[in-house]
Structure 1
Amino acid sequence: MGTGTPGARADAQLLWDFQQMGHTPRPCSVAVGLGSHDLGVADVAVGLYRQGLAPVIVFTGATSPTTRERMPRGEAEHYRERAVESGVPEDAVLVEPRARNTGENIRFSRELLAERGIDVASVLLVSKPYEERRAYATARKLWPDVEVVCASSPMTLAEYADSIQDARLVLDMLVGAVQRLMVYPAQGFMVTTDIPRPVVVAFERLRDQGFTSRLVAP
Structure 2
Amino acid sequence: MSHCSTVRLYRQGLFPLVVFSGATSATTAARFPAGEAVAYRDHALSLGVPDSAILVETRASNTGQNIELSRTLLASRGVAAGSVMLISKPYMQCRAYATCRKLWPEVDVVCASEPMELADYITEIGDERLVVDMLVGDLQRILIYPSRGFAVPQRVPAEVEAAYRDLVAAGYTSRLVRE
Instruction: Normalising by structure 2, report the TM-score.
Output: 0.95
* Selected match of 1:110 from 55, 58, 71: 71
Bigger relative CO (Cα 8 Å, ≥ 6 apart): 1
The partner residue of 2:149 within 172, 188, 193 is 188
1:178 and 1:203 in contact (8 A); partners too: yes
How far residue 118 of structure 1 moved from its aligned partner, in angstroms, is 1.0
1:155 deviates by 1.7
The code of the aligned residue for 1:156 comes to E
**How far off its partner does 1:59 sit?**
0.4
TM-score scaled by length of structure 1: 0.79
Question: In 2, distance between residues paired with 1:161 and 1:154?
Answer: 14
Q: Tell me which of 92, 98, 110 is aligned to 1:137.
A: 98
Distance apart, 1:119 and its partner CA: 1.8
1:86-106 Cα distance to aligned partner (Å, 9 max, x none): 111111110001111110000
Does residue 73 of the first structure (1) align with residue 28 of the second (2)? no
Choose the corresponding residue for 2:129, options 162, 168, 173. Answer: 168
Separation (CA, whole Å) in 2 of partners of 1:164 and 1:72: 16
Regions of 4+ moved over 3 Å: none
- Residue by residue over 1:30-61, the C-alpha shift from the partner in whole angstroms, topping out at 9 and shown as x without a partner, is xxxxxxxxxx5322211210111011100001
Note if 1:122 corresponds to 2:70.
no
Paired with 1:79 and 1:117, the residues of 2 have a C-alpha distance of: 23
Superposed displacement of residue 210, structure 1: 1.3
Q: How does 1:29-44 map to 2 (within 5 A)?
A: 40-44=1-5
- Which amino acid letter does the alignment assign opposite residue 208 of structure 1? A
Deviation at 1:202, TM superposition (A): 0.8
SS at structure 1 position matched to 2:154: coil
SS of residue matched to 1:148: strand
Q: Does 1:154 align with 2:105?
A: no
Percent identity over paired residues: 56
1:100 paired residue among 38, 61, 64? 61
Aligned partner of 1:55 in structure 2 is 16
8 A contact 1:44–1:126 mirrored in 2: no
3-state SS in 1 of match to 2:152: coil
> C-alpha distance in 2, partners of 1:60/1:133?
18
Counterpart Cα distance in 2 of 1:126 and 1:42:
9
Q: Is the counterpart of residue 46 in structure 1 residue 7 in structure 2? A: yes
CA distance in 1, matches of 2:176, 2:137: 5
Counterpart in the other structure of 1:217: 178
Amino acid at match of 1:60: S
Distance 1:44 1:215 in 2: 29
Give the distance between the partners of 2:128 and 2:98, measured in 1 at CA. 25
**Could you say what secondary structure the match of 2:42 adopts?**
helix
Matched position secondary structure for 1:104: helix
Deviation digits for residues 127-169 of structure 1, max 9, x if unmatched? 1111000101000000100111000111222232233332222
- The residue number in structure 1 matching 2:45 is 84
